[in-house]
Amino acid sequence: MDILVWLIPISLFLGGLGLVAFIWTVRSDQYEDPDGSSQRILSDQWDDHPKP
């Protein structure tokens, strides 16, 4: 059962990482335009180089 001492903090840390990532996506307006995001992937405007 000693393994729990490692596993529980690790699982909490990984979950927390997911939460932080999600909060970042909300904060950076990534849910403002779901329709646009699904269409923009079809655009070849920035295929050659990333948007400056």
Partner 1 sequence: MADLSVSPTVERGGFAACPACAVTPAAEELAARAAQLEGASLSLSLPGIHCAACIDTVERALVAAPGVREARVNLTLKRAQVKADPEVTAEDLVRVVEGVGYEAHELDPGTIAATATDRAGRALLMRLAVAGFASMNVMLLSVSVWSGAEDATRDLFHWISAAITLPAIAFCAQPFFANAAAALRVRRLNMDVPIALAITLALVTSLWETSLSGEHAYFDAALTLTFFLLAGRYLDHRTRSAARSAAEELAALEVPRAIALRDGAEVQLPIAELRIGDLVLVRPGGRMPVDGEIAEGTSELDRSLLTGETRPVPARPGQAVSAGEVNLTGPLTLRATAIGRDTSLARMADLVAIAESGRSRYTSLADRAARLYAPGVHILSALSFLGWYLWSGDLRVALNIAAAVLIITCPCALGLAVPAVTTAASGRLFRKGMLVKHETALERLSEVDTVVFDKTGTLTSGKPRVVNLDVLAPEARGIALALAAGSSHPLSQALAAALAEETPAPLTDLREVPGYGTEAFLAGQRVRLGRAEWLGASSGQETATWLQTPAGLTEIRFADSLRPGAQEAVSQLLAQGKKVALISGDTEGAVAALAARLGITDWQAGALPGEKAARVAALQDGGAKVLMVGDGLNDTAALTTAHVSISPASALDAARVASDIVLLGGELSPIPGALETASRATRRIRENFRIATFYNVIAVPLAVAGLCSPLIAALAMSTSSITVSLNALRLR
Contacts with partner 1 by CB under 8 A: the residue count is 24
Rounded least distance, CB 49 to partner 1, Å: 15
CA dist 45 and 20 (Å) reads 31
Q: Which of 3, 28, 45, 49 is the binder for partner 1 (CB under 8 A)? A: 45
State how far the alpha carbon of 22 is from the alpha carbons of 6, 16, 46, in Å: 25, 10, 25
Structure tokens at 33: 């335009």
**Residues of the shown chain interacting with partner 1 in the complex, contacts defined by CB under 8 A:** 1, 4, 8, 11-12, 15-16, 18-19, 22-23, 26, 31-36, 39-43, 45
